[in-house]
Amino acid sequence: MAIKFQYNKTSLQQLEKNLKMRERSLPTIKSKESALRVEVKRTKDEAKKLELQLENEIMSYRSMVALWNEFTPELIRVKDVHLSSRKFAGVMVPLLDDIEFEVCPYSLFNAPSWYTEGIELLKQLARTGIEAEFAGMKLELLEHARKKTTQKVNLFEKVQIPGYKDAIRKVKRYMEDEESLSKASQKIMRTNLEKRKEKEEEAS
């Protein structure tokens, strides 16, 4: 990214202002990146744990596969998933508050005795599945925010801050050269005037 500037005092002031702003912001952005990195790792571990838990639950229910043939799948459904959100390191992060299930009425006398337990097992399975899915979505969101923050840190640290410093150095050098040149030309003019004055005095 080429930094645009002019060789004058106004441009120099603007460059210095932009540099200060970036140097002040950098520690905050770095701490945000660090916090997001930790949260990404924590969410990744949580997602893996939930996926493993889901696999284990499915495996443990396989022994009941013959009984599930007697079960009516329409008996239970996920009615609602309650979400909220909180700000973490400047990023809005979704939170899974509750999962609401709807169980259709069934006859306790006519249905097999294991139906009530089966409904609870299905609830647990659905809950773990939704939590695992949600953790994956949350991870994607945090990973995206972390990548953007890392890009900003790199942009400030490796491109913009060195770029502004270089531009400031160039403008200062140019202005110093201009000043030296101006002083030198003033000195030459003064010397010439003095010589002319001396000649005029000699002539008179």
Beta bridge partners of 102: 77
The SS3 call for residue 76 is strand
In contact, 132 and 47? CB cutoff 8 Å: yes
Q: Which residues does 166 contact at the CB level (< 8 Å), separation at least 6?
A: 3
| pLDDT tens readout for residues 120-161 | 888 888 899 999 999 999 999 999 999 999 999 999 999 999
Tell me how far apart the alpha carbons of residues 11 and 104 are, in angstroms, rounded to a whole number.
73
| pLDDT tens readout for residues 78-129 | 999 999 988 888 888 888 999 999 988 877 777 777 777 778 888 888 899 9
Is the pTM of the predicted complex or chain greater than 0.85?
Answer: no
